[in-house]
Chain A
Amino acid sequence: MAESARWLVPRTGALRRGGRGLPGLWRSRTGTLGVAIVAVAVLCAALAPVLAPYNPTAAQFSTTLRPPSAAHPFGTDQLGRDVLSRVIFGARISLLVGGVTVLISGFVGCALGMLSGYLGGWLDAAVMRLADVQLSFPFILLALTINAVIGAGLQTIMLSLVVAGWPLYVRVVRGEILALRHREYVQAAIATGARNGRVMWQHVLPNVATPIIVVSTLQVSQFIIAEATISFLGFGIQPPTAAWGGMVSDGRNYIFFAWWLTAFPGAALALTALGVNLTGDWLRDTLDPRLRT
């Protein structure tokens, strides 16, 4: 579609007077909250061995399925492992899944989107139809096939998400470029004989950067949640590694009588995704040139 893809990037109005960069953060309540949550998650991931009271993979058969208590604030799971420690360590997997996959699919999608939007023609049609095929492809089949080739585990999850995620970036970037292509300064640059590559690098890329950044934060939260859905479908992280999505999925058989197995990792998932979403909204407001009037 020829429309600008700015609509894909929701905006918060919580920022009253547009401020640039971090000083403006304090004025956005939701933005502050978002960044704070993400900071906590990153801290957990980085300092997990220090923060976690127990070994997350140490099975203790004498204390299986204990509800939250002083010794185990989040309870223990079906093999006696401490849920709090597993939640803290689980941050690593979730941030890995969210962060790295978005980086890779974003890179691929943006590159394709730029080429497609800028060069147009048959390349554009081909890329768009490929994106269509990709989007109408059942995600499960994708995961299953990748699983058959490289075996279950973290690599399957990440590869599946990368392959499933790139069409969104193509759409966003291409839309922006189609809108930008007709701007005066781009036309001027082309008229003065600048090569395509230079035009793209100097003029197009900086403008595309903003929506890409914000879309990426949305994707991060979506992918973090997707880890849970993938575990539900049966392609989760291999035991005994702790992963929030895997814990929620494994715990769902116990959900009616050992609620702590799903509640705490589920809350961690939801809060982190929320934090990333709020951060993305704040970034959008900060970086959007149109709000600075």
Chain B
Amino acid sequence: MSRYLLGRAGQAVLAIFLALTVVFFLVRITGDPVILFLPQDVQPKDIVYFRHLLGFDRPVWQQYLSFLGGAVHGDFGRSLRYRTPALSLVVSRLPATFQLAATSLAMVACAAVPVGIASAARRGTFVDNIGIAATAAGQAVPGFWLGLMLIWVFGVWLRWLPVAGYGGWTHFVLPSLTLTAFYAAQIARITRSSVLDALGQDYVRTARAKGIHERGVLARHVLKNAAIPIVTVFGLNAGQLLGGAVVTETIFAWPGIGQYILNALRGRDFPVVMVGVFLTSAIYILVNFLVDLSYVWLNPQVRYG
């Protein structure tokens, strides 16, 4: 097991390093950031001068090496736009994203899993059809449209909830509803499908034949076996949410990491982009790893070593 852990840790470092390198060179393809910073009456030779001041006239490999040298010490440089250290800027946006992600994931789990199980247990009935239609619809609506509709109805029309921004629990309702709609639909479908799969297994038929109570059958054996795919997709979703739901954060003015990285990309703020990629890939890999570990607990036949 410890060999497995070590192996995974090594692979994680490699993956993060790869991601950083690829992104480093790719952002530079999108062009140099200097012109975005300077006033419109800037002279061409001033642009050259500023490029030199900011260090963008050095050969790319030299910029890369100096970036790596700093990154290893946790110094990702200063944000080109904000002029303060990039790492602390981005990290300060994590709590807002994590809180929204946690709220949404909790809502998804509470809503989607029971719906999926109910749908599977009542397969072929009216309840099931409604479930299928609702979940198919939930995945078919563009997120930003839903968000704006919610803002109009609850923020402007009824004025029950604030329109945008980060604050007390009332500010969490609309953004997490918007996120939950999509992910809940996905999880419900997966839950239904994997529970149906598990219900079709031989051991379930055997248990039923033995006369074990339906509820007992479901709870103990089926759910645990059905859980693996659900946990996998849940983990994928968690990784995405923790990395920042860009569209939702933009619509609701949520000061999260997703919107921050988008603005950094638009503003060619390279240091912030690099920190953002570093953090989101680290989060994603960590979540993936936790999901893989959970397999051991859920299905004793899975072994790593």
Contacts and interface: CB of A to CB of B under 8 A. Distances in A.
B33 to A, nearest CB: 13
B232 interface: yes
A232 B247 CA distance: 8
Nearest to A274: B140
Given A10-B189, A221-B139, A290 B284 contact: no
B27 A145 contact: yes
B292 A281 contact: no
A2 B302 contact: yes
Contacts of A145: 26-27, 29-30
Interface string B256-273: 000001100110000001
A129 B148 contact: no
A140 B132 contact: no
Interface stretch (A49-57, A113-121, A248-256): A248-256
Contacts of B204: none
Interface in A133-172: 133, 135-138, 140-141, 144-145, 147-149
Interface stretch (B12-20, B71-79, B82-90, B106-114): B12-20
A169 B246 CA distance: 25
A144 B267 CA distance: 12
Contact of A10 (B193, B265, B285): B193
Query: What's the interface size class on A, roughly?
Result: 35 or more
Contact of B27 (A141, A233, A270, A273): A141
Given A10-B190, A14-B132, A140 B124 contact: no
Contacts of B288: 132
B280 interface: yes
Contacts of B141: 225, 266, 270
A129 B280 contact: no
19 contacts: A1-B232, A3-B228, A3-B229, A3-B232, A7-B194, A8-B190, A9-B193, A10-B189, A11-B192, A30-B129, A138-B276, A140-B246, A140-B265, A148-B29, A229-B142, A233-B246, A245-B142, A255-B148, A274-B137
Interface of B: 11, 14-15, 18-19, 22-23, 26-27, 29-31, 123-124, 128-129, 132-133, 136-137, 139-145, 148-149, 152, 156, 189-190, 192-194, 196-197, 200, 228-230, 232-233, 239, 243, 246-247, 261-262, 265-266, 273, 276-277, 280-281, 284-285, 288, 292, 295, 302
- Lowest 8 A-B CB distances belong to which pairs? A7-B229, A13-B123, A273-B140, A136-B281, A10-B193, A136-B284, A10-B189, A148-B30
